[in-house]
Structure 1
C-alpha cells in the first residue's frame, strides 16, 4: 500500500503511482481535458513529460519506447479528438505487439468544473479503439483507480503483449485526494509451453526431416529469444529466413539464408518441414501441401505476426500443427527433450555444411551488389545500407521505415545485437518517425535523466511519403526541444512508390499503361526535408552522392552522441516505373 500526505488530487495520485511502478516518461500532447494530469506531472517532477505536436506522433513515440525498452510505454491523449487522431498509431503498435498503456481524458456533460462549452463530451472512446487494444476501460470511480492501473499494466506485458486503454474522467481527476491507498504490485507471469506429448511430436518431426527450415517474423521483439533461437537452429542444423521486423536472427550467422517477402508466402524449395516462428501467412496465399508445417505463435487469433494482418490475420489452412505458446521457453523445452543419436548428428552435420555453403554464397552476392553500386557511384538501397553499416557502432539502434527499399537495405546491415532493429509491420505509414525518438529515450534513459550527454544514437531511415504521413514536423520539434540524438534519413524520390504495383494489377491497367503518376506523386514541388529541419534549427544535409551521404552521416552521428538531432535528405531520382 502507498499513501502520501502531499498528494492533493486523484490526478496527482495517478501520476505518483506511475512513478512508483517505475515509469519515467509520459508521451503526449497538450489538451484541456488533460490539464489536471499535467498539473500533477509538473508537481511530481521526477516523471518526464515528452510533448509531441500531434497525438499520432505521441503514441508512436510511446510505441518506440516500449519496443526498445521491452517495457510498457505510457501515453496520454486528449479526449475523443485525441483518441481519433491516434488510431493509426494504435494499429501500428498492435501489429508490433508493443506493450503500452494509453490514457485518454474524458469529459462527462455537466461535470466540467470550468464549464467549458467546447469540452468534446463523449463516452464512446472505447468503441473506436477496441479492435486494436487488448483491454479497455472507462475508469469510473476513485475506488477502482488502483485496480484499473494494476490490471492495465499487467495485461500489457502478458503474451501476446499489447495495449491497455483507459479513459480518465476529468471531473474524477479533479477530485480532492481523501487518503485512498494505492497498492503497487509486482506482477508474476507464467510461461505457456506445450504438453510433453506435443513437445515429443515436434522434436521427432525435426529429427526425421531431411530439409527443415525456420521462418521468423516477430520473435525478436523479445530480445532474450534471439540467443535461444540461435542455439535451437545450431543444435538441429536448420536453415533460417526472416521477415525482418525485429532482429530475430543474426544475418551473418552461417545458418541465415536471407529474408522472406513481406506479403508473399515463403519459397519452400525442397523443404520437407517448415517451422513458422511467429510467422503468419496472409490468407489467399498457398503453401506446398507436401511440406509439413508447424506453426508456433503467441497469438491464437494470429493477427499480429504478419504484415498488415488487420482483423483477419493469418491463415492456418496449410498447418499440420498449430501451437499457441511462448516461443523462447518452448524452444528451450524442445532442446531439452530431444534425444539426438549418433546417426542424427551425422545428418545435422550434413545439413549445416549445405546451409553454410549457401549462406557464404549469399553473403558474397550481398557484398558484390554493394561493391558494384559503390564503384559506380549510384545511390541505391544496397549502397545506402552499406554506408550505414560501415558507420555503425555497437549500442546504436536502427528504425527502418522504408518499404520498397527495405529488404535491400537490410541485407547490407550486420546488426548483431538483439533489440537493435525495429520496423513497421502494420503497413500504416508514418509511425517510424515517432518511434525513433521513443527508442532513443529507451536506449539512453539513465544518461538522459542524469543529464549526461553521452548517447547511443538512433538512425531512422524512411521514405518521403512515410515521413509526410508520420507528422514529421511534430517529430522534428520534439527531438530538438528535448535534445534527442536521432538521425533521420529521408529517401526522397518524390513518390509513394510502394503504391505503384496496385495500379499494375487493376483490371483495365489504365493508369499503368498511361504511366499516369498523379495518384502517387509527391513531386513538383519536390519537398525539401532539409529545409523543414532548418525551420527547427536542426542540422540538415542535402545529399546527392555517396560521398556526400557518408560525410553527412559521420557528422550526424557525432552530433547525435551529444543529443543533437539531424536530417539527411537523400535526393533521389523521381520514381519512374
Structure 2
C-alpha cells in the first residue's frame, strides 16, 4: 500500500529535491528512517547551519533546496537563518515536524505552536488539513519558493507519513510556466526617461542578470554602482564602467548620485540604508526608476517609475530600443592595493590588518572563485580590493544577522564542487556558524575559511564610539577559533604574520578547485575602526 511518505518522496524527486539538509528530532524520525538510497541526507549540528547550508546550496544551484526542521525548537532556532534566506531571495522548501496529529489537541510533549512562529519570513506556509494533502502541499511549496524566491514552509504531523495515500497529488500544477516577455508599449515610459537623460546611472543589485545588464550599461555608456548590503554582486566589478558600492547613509548617497539626473535600479531596492539620517534619498531633480521581479521590493521603493518584471527581459529589450549614447563611457577607478601596502607589515614590524589579508587574496584567487563575505568591519576593504568577476564573486547576508558565512560557503561548495569557494569572515561572525565546519569535514567539502580574528565586535565598537560613549561589552580575545575548528574535525592553522599568510595562500589557493577537505585559517589582525559602512 502506498503511503503519504512514498508519495512525498515522489514529489521531492520530481522537483529535484533529493538532498536533505537536516538536524533531526523525534518528530522527523518516521520520515527519515530508512531513507531511500537516491535521497542524500546532509547533517548539520545546528539549525542555523542547516538553513545556512541549504541557502548556499540554493544560491549555487539556482534551484530550491530542501530543509527538514524539528518542531518548535528547530524552527525557532532557525528563524534568523530563514530571515536571511528570505532577504537573500534563496528558494527553500522547509519541512517542519509536528507531534502526532491524533493527540496534538492535548498539547503533548514536543507539540509545536508552529503557525506564525517564523513570522512573515516564509513566502508561504501551510499545515495540510489531511495527511493525504501533504504531497500536494510540498509540490505547491516548491512552486511558491521558485516564484517568490524565498523559503516556503510545510508543517507535517509525524503520523501523517504512514497514512495511506490514494494516488492523487492535489493543490499544485505538474508544470508551471512563467513567461517573462515585456511589451514595448509598457517599456515606453522608461525608454523615454532614459533617452532624455543627460547623465544616467545604474544601480545593480542581487536580482540583476549580468549579461543583459552589461549590454544595457554599455549602450547607455553610464556608470554602474553596486547596491549597499547586497546579497551578491549585480555587475562585474572589474568592468571599466563599474563605479563602486553605494554609501549606506543618505548624505553620502545623495552626494554620490547628485551628478545623475536619472538613476535606474535593477534588481536592487531603492535604496538600502543602514544608520538613519534625515533628508531625501536623492537630490532634487534626480528621477529614480526601478526594475525588479520582487513584488515587495517594487511596492516599498520610493521610485518615480517601477516595473515588476524580469530584470533580464527588461534589460535585454531596452538594449534594442534605446539609441547608443554618444557620451564617452566613464572610466571608474579600479580596485587598488591597501593604502599602506601589504608589504609594510613585515618591513615595519606592524601587525597584519584586514587589508593586507584581502590584498594577498585578491592577487591569488582565480576569476571563478565563489567568495562569501561576513566581515562587517572589513567589508569596505573587501569591496575595494577584491572585485567580483562573476555573479558569485561576492555573496553576503543581505539581512545583516550573523552566522551566514561559514554554512553558506559549505552549501555553495557542495552545489558547485568544481569551483573554488572562499569564505572571508570575522571571528565574531564565525562563532555563530562554526557548527557547519563539522559538516564540511564529514562530507569532504573543500572550502577555504579565512577568519579575520581581532577578538571583538569591531562594528559594534565603532557604533558605540559614534554615540560618544563606552561599550559595555568586553573583547573576547581568549577565544581560539583554530582550536574550535579542530574540535569539530576541521583542519585549521593559525596565521600571525604576512610571511605566514602569503606562504599559506601560495600553498593552498592553486589547488582550491580540487580540494577535498576544508581548511580554516585563523588570521590574527589588528583592530581597525577607521571604516564607514
TM-score (normalised: structure 2):
0.89
Match status 1:551 vs 2:503: yes
| Structure 2 CA distance for aligned equivalents of residues 395 and 293 of structure 1 | 33
Measure how far apart 1:178 and its partner are.
5.4
| Comparing 270-279 and 292-301, the one that deviates more | 292-301
| Structure 1 CA distance for aligned equivalents of residues 246 and 288 of structure 2 | 16
2:343 equivalent in structure 1 = 374
SS in 1 for 2:297: coil
Aligned residue pair count? 513
Asked whether the 8 Å contact 1:272–1:290 carries over to 2, the reply is yes
Q: 2:493 aligns with which of 541, 559, 572?
A: 541
Asked whether the 8 Å contact 2:388–2:394 carries over to 1, the reply is yes
> Relative to 1, partners in 2 of residues 1:186 and 1:252: Cα closer, same or farther, differing over 3 Å?
same
> Relative to 1, partners in 2 of residues 1:494 and 1:550: Cα closer, same or farther, differing over 3 Å?
same
SS in 2 for 1:538: coil
SS in 1 for 2:376: coil
Asked whether the 8 Å contact 1:12–1:44 carries over to 2, the reply is no
Asked whether the 8 Å contact 1:387–1:550 carries over to 2, the reply is yes
1:514 equivalent in structure 2 = none
1:259 equivalent in structure 2 = 245
2:432 equivalent in structure 1 = 469
Give CA-to-partner distance per residue, 1:443-495, whole Å, 9 cap, x none: 12xxxxxxxxxx4331111111111223x1x1111111111111111111111
2:156 equivalent in structure 1 = 168
Measure how far apart 1:102 and its partner are.
0.7
| Comparing 165-174 and 19-28, the one that deviates more | 19-28
Match status 1:500 vs 2:461: yes
Measure how far apart 1:191 and its partner are.
1.8
1:565 equivalent in structure 2 = 518
| Structure 1 CA distance for aligned equivalents of residues 205 and 43 of structure 2 | 32
Match status 1:297 vs 2:260: no
> Relative to 1, partners in 2 of residues 1:88 and 1:299: Cα closer, same or farther, differing over 3 Å?
same
| Structure 2 CA distance for aligned equivalents of residues 229 and 371 of structure 1 | 35
Give CA-to-partner distance per residue, 1:136-169, whole Å, 9 cap, x none: 00023233233212211111111x4111111011
Q: 2:4 aligns with which of 2, 6, 10?
A: 10
| Comparing 433-442 and 139-148, the one that deviates more | 139-148
1:333 equivalent in structure 2 = 317
Q: 1:128 aligns with which of 113, 117, 133?
A: 117
| Comparing 279-288 and 426-435, the one that deviates more | 279-288
Give CA-to-partner distance per residue, 1:530-576, whole Å, 9 cap, x none: 11122233221111222212222344443772311011001122466
Asked whether the 8 Å contact 2:200–2:263 carries over to 1, the reply is yes
> Relative to 1, partners in 2 of residues 1:285 and 1:249: Cα closer, same or farther, differing over 3 Å?
farther
Match status 1:489 vs 2:475: no
Measure how far apart 1:367 and its partner are.
2.5
Q: Counterparts of 1:115-154 in structure 2 under 5 Å?
A: 119-122=109-112, 124-154=113-143
- In structure 2, runs of 5+ residues without a counterpart are none
Q: Counterparts of 1:387-536 in structure 2 under 5 Å?
A: 387-444=360-417, 455-470=418-433, 472=434, 474-506=435-467, 509-511=468-470, 517-519=471-473, 521-525=474-478, 527-536=479-488
Measure how far apart 1:59 and its partner are.
0.7
> Relative to 1, partners in 2 of residues 1:534 and 1:118: Cα closer, same or farther, differing over 3 Å?
farther
| Structure 1 CA distance for aligned equivalents of residues 529 and 226 of structure 2 | 29
Q: Counterparts of 1:67-106 in structure 2 under 5 Å?
A: 67-106=59-98
| Structure 1 CA distance for aligned equivalents of residues 245 and 138 of structure 2 | 40
- In structure 1, runs of 5+ residues without a counterpart are 304-312, 445-454, 512-516
Q: 1:188 aligns with which of 177, 191, 194?
A: 177
Measure how far apart 1:337 and its partner are.
2.4
CA RMSD for the aligned pairs?
Answer: 2.7
SS in 1 for 2:59: helix
| Structure 1 CA distance for aligned equivalents of residues 326 and 156 of structure 2 | 59
Give CA-to-partner distance per residue, 1:203-251, whole Å, 9 cap, x none: 122122121111122224xxxx100100000011111010353121111
SS in 2 for 1:289: coil
| Structure 2 CA distance for aligned equivalents of residues 411 and 109 of structure 1 | 55
Asked whether the 8 Å contact 2:371–2:422 carries over to 1, the reply is yes
SS in 2 for 1:510: coil
TM-score (normalised: structure 1):
0.83
Q: 1:58 aligns with which of 30, 50, 55?
A: 50
